[in-house]
A and B are shown apart, each in its own frame.
Chain A
Amino acid sequence: MDVSLIFKIAGLGIITAILNLVLIKSGREEVAMMTTLTGVVIICMMVVNLISKLFDSIRTMLMF
């Protein structure tokens, strides 16, 4: 398990939040929404491997 991944996700989260804030402040709610979504998707893509690994290990545990 890599700790740096957690930091990465945390960093992305913070930046997405700030981006969201800045964009909303300058009156671009739609763009802010999209940015947030993009952030979420990027983070999902980062963790999707781990989740699939988790599922795999659960499956091997139960099937076994």
Chain B
Amino acid sequence: MLIKLIGGILIIVASGAFGIGMGNKYGGRPKELKRLRILLQMLETEIIYGATPLPFALANVASKADNSLSHFFQDIAEGLIRGSFYSVKEAWDKAVDTSLQDTYLGASDKELLKSFGGILGASDSNDQQKHFKLFYKQLEQQEDLAEEDRRKNEKMYRSLGFLFGIVVFIVLV
């Protein structure tokens, strides 16, 4: 009887944790998008008002960011400073593919980010500002979508995990 009980608890905890994990995926995305937007705003300030060269601007932003996003900016900055890339786009695309793997950002977010890499640094500050504005709009849209996704899914996956565990327990006992 005791073993049954322990087994049951294990099942419920496991599936509950799985559900919470799934839920977090939806919860993390809008947060990360928002953080990304704030970091890009910093980058914009560096570019428009500081006229800091892009590699250094990126490094500055990276020092203010936390973990995964910081890696992203750091990787680009380092790549550009070391001179291992011939354009920002190359460095940016590669960083999107490799450094953002342990974030919650989805494929569509990455696509959007990639489209921005080709523009960054490639024109005068007026133009850059416009592109930044446009990109914020697109990011906000993405944020809204992510937020809606979160509202729909986060709670559901969390409760679903537990409930499923309980069902399995009841059916098996």
Contacts and interface: CB of A to CB of B under 8 A. Distances in A.
- Asked whether any CB of A lies within 8 Å of a CB of B in the complex, the reply is yes
Nearest to A26: B156
A26 B150 CA distance: 10
Nearest to A12: B170
Interface in A9-40: 11-12, 15, 18-19, 22-23, 25-28
B159 to A, nearest CB: 5
Interface in B53-72: none
A8 interface: yes
Nearest to B171: A42
Interface size grouping (class) on chain A: 10 to 19
A15 B163 contact: yes
B167 to A, nearest CB: 6
A12 to B, nearest CB: 6
A11 B166 contact: yes
A15 B160 contact: no
A22 B170 contact: no
A37 B138 CA distance: 41
A15 B155 CA distance: 16
Contact of A12 (B156, B159, B160, B171): B171
B159 A15 contact: no
B155 A22 contact: yes
A26 B163 contact: no
Contact of B152 (A8, A18, A26, A42): A26
B128 interface: no
- Listed from nearest, the 9 A-B pairs whose CB atoms lie closest are A26-B156, A26-B152, A11-B170, A22-B159, A19-B163, A15-B163, A8-B170, A22-B156, A15-B166
28 contacts: A8-B170, A8-B171, A11-B166, A12-B167, A12-B170, A12-B171, A15-B163, A15-B166, A15-B167, A15-B170, A18-B159, A18-B163, A19-B163, A22-B155, A22-B156, A22-B159, A22-B160, A22-B163, A23-B156, A23-B160, A25-B155, A26-B152, A26-B153, A26-B155, A26-B156, A27-B152, A28-B156, A42-B171
Interface of B: 152-153, 155-156, 159-160, 163, 166-167, 170-171, 173
